[in-house]
Structure 1
Amino acid sequence: MLNTVYKLLSCLLLIPATLLLAATAQAHDARPLYVQVTELNKPALESKSAGAHQYLLKLQVPPSVESGNRPFITLPDNCSHERFGLVIQLSCTSSLAGKTLEIHYPQFNPSITTLIRASFSSGASYQTLLSPSENRWEIPTEQSTAQVISDYTVLGVEHILIGWDHLLFLFCLLLISGTFKRTLITLSGFTLSHSLTLVMTTLGVIQLPIAPVEAVIALSILFLAAEVMRDRRHTLAWRYPVGVSVLFGLIHGFGFASVLQDIGLPQTELTTALLFFNIGVEIGQVMFVSAVMLVLFLLRSWRPFPDGKFQQLMLYGTGSLAAFWTIERIAGF
């Protein structure tokens, strides 16, 4: 009977495992569409049309958007534009403050959010996060601190929950920590270490190339998955999991910072945005860890459930995916 149950569960797990592999072949492809509008003190590009206010508009489209469905921006009526490759120069008769930008897709929005940032020559910088169901934003004349807190907290939560490499590393940490006390200490070490490098990188104190960082992040998952599979509890990783979480947490912090650098921070609310992005990451982390611990508890409470076989299956999948990411990222150097 036990073998029958196990075979049935294994078959059922093939479906979500296949979907997971397809969805996570690129761990960071689910980044938001990023729109940057920057006001120029003077025109940086030659323009045939003259206006009182000159801007550069750049779109950073995530790889998950197909080439035939690349979004475009509908500009206010007071602006003319010229395209220079991937950059659009706007010439407007009045400031964009108070004007509306609209984002459209030729086919459909592939369920991604949109981050828009507008920077003015005065030093003011405003941004918003649009859900997939929203496609327009009125650039404010002044942005509240509450809006910055809301936007960057949501960005932090979203990033950790779509960052499958970070989540799989947390999953392996849970398995190697064991007791609740050791798990709490291990996760606290991970939080403190990645927060440190996140802040220092974002503020420009430390800079590392992102390609090797992402390769090491994938390697950290592979290392932990192998340690749990071997189950040699005399090793340093088993005896001191907090050391592993702190060491690799420093590397994961560089990964978090790379996303935040792509998005940008408002100079007038720099500290607030950085703080609440990190808080959002921690909220997402707590949500994931709590969900995993609850699922594991429920499964282990069900006596017929083959806990060891299930864990082995999950670790094989995690290790295989981490190995794929490692090779792929090293090949991309």
Structure 2
Amino acid sequence: MNRWHAILWACLALALCPTSARADELRPAYIEMTEQSPGQWSLLWKASANSRLGQSGEIIIPDNCEIEGKSQREFAASNILTRLSLRCAGSVQGQTIGLKGLELSSTDALVRVAPMDEAMQTLRLTPDQPAAILAKPSVISNVAATYAILGIEHILMGFDHLLFVLALVLLLKGGWLIAKTVTAFTIAHSLTLVGTTLGLLSLPSRPVESVIALSIVFLAVEIVKAKPGDLRLSERFPWIVAFLFGLLHGFGFAGALAEIGLPEGDVPLALLTFNLGVEIGQLVIVAVALAALYALRQYRDRWLQPAKSVTAYGIGIIATYWFIERTFA
């Protein structure tokens, strides 16, 4: 397979793959219901202004609650924030909360309910289950499971992070070397994720997203130019390259987490489990990629290098498009 054939296949891959991805691709709706005084609740609803929910969604409040006064709506970044004041008769346990219109969307919704004298709980609504009954949960398991799933989904649905990890697998040889490199990437993005979420670090999101795209282009070029016996920088010191770029990807994860929202009383737990979810997602990507490469090597070994080149061209073209879109759009 010559280079022009590779480029042709890469262009086809570009046409078939999603061409618009952001580091904060995961943007579920968010509902926070907090008891301010006995029977008096405040409710905050956040949804993307570009989504169907943000334009026409409606909150399903518990049956024993009534809205007091008028709702307040405001724009914050690309989100619509709706604030309500509720008066509820008795406990909200056993009551239903949800979102009308969620079943027609392609996103999820996080719900955090914080009574004064009862356990706080975090629920996850989906298009298949747009409403849920409030019950007394185990707070730790509830928050942990919710944010771990969100972390897994973000690495699998955040295509720029996914392609970066995939490119690392294509570039390197040997399971142990790949494991060390991915671990370095994990440590790095964990540092900036925690630092940014806690307000210790800060970078503008737009240049960060552009450089994340460039990090993928860099790895794609390294894959194409790799030659046996002539190790390139990324092959000699892959864990250093992964660590440095991982710091930037951590800012991207932090942006996603900021969009999702964190439960005020369980920030450390939510951070930890979200990061564990990201790590689980990365391991899934690595395992699937290694299995595919092994199967190809066993079936047609001579196809392995051309397949890597074709994939690298596709990854590079997509990442270049992202870089241009994020820098100049």
- Smaller-chain TM-score bracket: 0.7 to 0.9
Name the SS for the 1:294 alignment partner: helix
Work out whether 1:103 is the aligned partner of 2:99: yes
SS of match in other structure, 2:45: strand
Residue 240 to residue 60, structure 1, CA distance change in 2 (3 Å): same
Aligned-pair CA distance for 1:19 = 3.1
Q: Amino acid of the residue matched to residue 67 of structure 2? A: S
Aligned to 1:151: 146
Compared CA separation, residues 283 and 52, structure 1 to 2 (3 A): closer
Instruction: Evaluate the alpha carbon distance shift between residue 62 and residue 188 of structure 1 in structure 2; reply closer, same or farther with a 3 A threshold.
Output: farther
Q: Does 1:288 align with 2:276?
A: no
Instruction: Give the number of aligned pairs.
Output: 313
Paired with 1:157 and 1:151, the residues of 2 have a C-alpha distance of: 10
Post-superposition CA distance 1:145-203 (Å, at most 9, x none) = 11112111111111111011001001111122222232122111111111111122222
Which residue in the other structure is 2:299 paired with? 302
Q: CA deviation at 1:97?
A: 3.6
Q: Are residues 229 and 208 of structure 1, via their aligned partners in 2, closer, same or farther at CA, if it must alter by over 3 Å? A: same
1:127–1:95 CA distance, 2 compared to 1 (3 A): farther
Paired with 1:144 and 1:204, the residues of 2 have a C-alpha distance of 25
Distance 1:95 1:202, change over 3 A: farther
SS of the equivalent of 2:277 reads helix
Change beyond 3 A, Cα 1:229–1:96 = farther
Q: Distance in 1 between matches of 2:22 and 2:91?
A: 35
Evaluate the alpha carbon distance shift between residue 66 and residue 317 of structure 1 in structure 2; reply closer, same or farther with a 3 A threshold.
Answer: farther
Q: 1:225 & 1:121 partners in 2: Cα distance?
A: 53
| Aligned-pair Cα RMSD in Å | 3.1
Partner Cα separation in structure 2 for residue 194 and residue 30 of structure 1: 16
Q: Does 2:103 match 1:114?
A: no
Distance of aligned partners of 1:258 and 1:125 in 2 relative to their CA distance in 1, 3 Å threshold: farther
Q: Which one of 255, 260, 269 corresponds to residue 266 of structure 2?
A: 269
Q: Quick one: distance in 1 between partners of 2:19 and 2:149?
A: 21
Change (3 A) 1:30 1:237: closer
* TM-score of the two chains, using structure 2 as the length reference: 0.82
Counting aligned pairs with the same residue, the percent is 33
Unaligned runs of 5+ in 1: 43-50
Q: Does 1:250 align with 2:247?
A: yes
* Contact 1:201–1:207 (Cα < 8 Å) also in 2: yes
* Distance 1:225-1:15 versus aligned 2 partners, 3 A rule: closer
Decide whether the 8 Å contact of 1:197 with 1:253 is kept in 2: yes
**Contact 2:114-2:121 within 8 A present in 1 as well:** yes
Shift, 1:236, TM fit: 1.8
Structure 2, unaligned runs of 5 or more = 74-79
* Equivalent of residue 317 in structure 1, options 305, 309, 314: 314
Task: Name the counterpart of 1:55.
Answer: 42
Deviation digits for residues 114-158 of structure 1, max 9, x if unmatched? 212235678975322223311113345665211112111111111
Normalised TM-score (structure 1) = 0.82
